[in-house]
Amino acid sequence: MELEAVINRKYDELNENELSIVSYILKNKKETQDISITKLAEVCHTSKSTIHRLTQKLGFSGFVEFKYSIKQSIELHSATNDDMIEKLKNDIETTYKLFNQTDVKKIVEKVYQSKRIYGYGTGWAQLNALNDLNRNFILSGKNSMVLQSKTELKLLLSEMDSNDLVIIVSKSGDGIGLSEITQLLSLKKIPILSITEFKNNDLASKTDYNLYFQSSEFYDKHRENTSKKTFVTVNIVLDMLYREYIKYENLL
């Protein structure tokens, strides 16, 4: 979450002294991004322990992580509209490269061989992308459906077997809920294709097949949560997967 949004969420919990420190930091981000805790305490007329407690109250592990958040905020706020389009272009190009570096034939072979395909997304945008893929698979004669919730997945788990394929789309690839789902599917030896951001994550490490996308943050100054991400590249990955599937099928 962007720094201003973090502070806004905790605003009512901060005392007058803490609000004064936060106000100084927000007005002087460039000066404070590399400042020492001793110097910050001096200019804010407070103690190092007070600043340390403030950073923890805001949800950071300590002053070092808090300063990193200040740097991120500066980088995000300095982005121009042209930078946003350039970031999108870079995200698309990187996602395309990641896709081409993957053994996609192995994945589409599994899609072709699977008796049923289940899609599961961890959020609204992920489910929307899966709905498009699901529609395409159905039109191509595949037995496919999108699971709308973890509850629905658990209800249908008894019907699934190793001849099926579950496609899970998640931004982070981490979380207790996801870990539980992968464990349940793995116990029944049900193959999983994970689609996540390109980084180390729990889901990708525990699944049979992996595809990745890149999605960069951009700045929206008129919203409380000024840090934004879109999932265009998720749709691109799923569309490329479907096209590779059709290409594979056409060669049979």
pLDDT digits (tens, 9 = 90+) for 172-199: 898 888 999 999 999 999 999 999 998 8
Predicted confidence at residue 110, as pLDDT, reads 98
The pTM is what?
A: 0.69
Examine the pLDDT at 153 and tell me if it is beyond 80.
yes
The model's pLDDT over 118-129, given as tens digits with 9 standing for 90+, comes to 999 999 999 999
Instruction: Please state, in angstroms and rounded to a whole number, the distance separating the CA atoms of residues 196 and 164.
Output: 20
User: Encoding tokens for residue 192?
Assistant: 């999983």
Instruction: Look at the alpha carbons of 167, 173, 176, 180 in this order and tell me if their dihedral is positive or negative.
Output: positive
82 pLDDT band, cuts 50/70/90, is low
On average, the pLDDT of the chain sits at 89
Question: In this structure, are residues 164 and 153 in contact, taking their beta carbons and an 8 Å threshold?
Answer: no
> For residue 184, which of 150, 143, 144 has the smallest C-alpha distance?
150
Residue-level pLDDT at 250: 96
pLDDT at 11: 82
Q: Phi, psi at residue 195, to the nearest 5°?
A: -130, 110
Query: Mean pLDDT across the stretch 54-82?
Result: 79
In this prediction, residue 194 carries a pLDDT of 96
Sequence spans of domains, the chain: 3-77, 81-250
**CATH 1.20.120.350 applies to domain 81-250:** no
Domain 3-77, architecture per CATH: Orthogonal Bundle (1.10)
**How does pLDDT run across 212-238, given as a tens digit for each residue?**
999 987 766 666 555 667 889 999 999
